[in-house]
Amino acid sequence: MADLKAAFTKSNPEARLNVSFGSSGNFFAQIRSGAPMDVFLSADTDYPSRLIDKGSASRDSLTHYAIGHLALWTSNLTLPLSTNLATVLANASIRRIALANPSHSPYGRASKATLQHLELWTPLQQKLVFADNAAQALQFAQSGNAQIAILPLSMAQARPNSSCNYVKIPSHWHAPIRQSGVLTTQGSQNPIARKFLAFLVTGTGQQIFKSHGFSVPD
């Protein structure tokens, strides 16, 4: 996000961007209640679509800006991440596996689908802990309270260091994580907001997403 902001303000020096990070569900409720936000970037397409259906965002602004991927992250360097991931997840030395809560997080839903694909969702149920969002899943694992976290690849990739290890989870193990953005009713009056959303799908914007662990929509 910092790179996107920097690139955008470079070509639009007059723009002042204030970025709030949080869960899509919370922002949905806040925008519905008239929160002063112009652009809503979600980790899925469902929340923005529902905002449009409720009349709080403009339909023609719906923009698919990136496709997210998952990674398996651990601070336990002895776990052989290069081998079969099902074996890694079922390793007895893992007591807790952290993931974003599938009930409301798009990445959490994909994490659940991945475990279901590996037929580990039910057997590992006792080991799973549900973080409010992906950042908290990482925090659970970084603090050592969980031994493994299932995270957005972008998040795992953003903090490369020698005391942790991650591997990308094959994308066909879960439904594609299509990330979309919309202009809120307030934002559709703001030309800079419209420009920013359009910027995300320009060559420059898409290149930034690619270099941060996303793929770009066709």
Nearest to 149 by CA among 132, 170, 134, 171: 134
Counting DSSP H helices and E strands in the chain, the numbers are 9, 8
* Minimum distance, C-beta of residue 75 to another protein, in the bound complex (Å): 9
* Minimum distance, C-beta of residue 70 to another protein, in the bound complex (Å): 19
Q: Concatenated DSSP letters for 132-173?
A: SSHHHHHHHHHTTSSSEEEEEHHHHHHS--TT-EEEEPPGGG
Neighbours of 185 (CB within 10 A): 15
Q: Which is nearer to another protein, 83 or 143 (CB)?
A: 143
* Minimum distance, C-beta of residue 4 to another protein, in the bound complex (Å): 25
Q: Which is nearer to another protein, 135 or 192 (CB)?
A: 135
**Which structure tokens are listed for 19?**
């970025």
Q: Which is nearer to another protein, 44 or 208 (CB)?
A: 44
C-alpha distances (whole Å) from 21 to each of 7, 24, 41 are 19, 9, 10
Sites of contact with another protein (CB under 8 A): 23, 25-26, 28-29, 50, 95-96, 98, 101, 103-104, 129-132, 139-140, 143-146
Q: Which is nearer to another protein, 107 or 140 (CB)?
A: 140
* Minimum distance, C-beta of residue 23 to another protein, in the bound complex (Å): 6
Q: Which is nearer to another protein, 3 or 53 (CB)?
A: 53
Q: In 3-state terms, what secondary structure has residue 101? A: coil
* Minimum distance, C-beta of residue 46 to another protein, in the bound complex (Å): 10
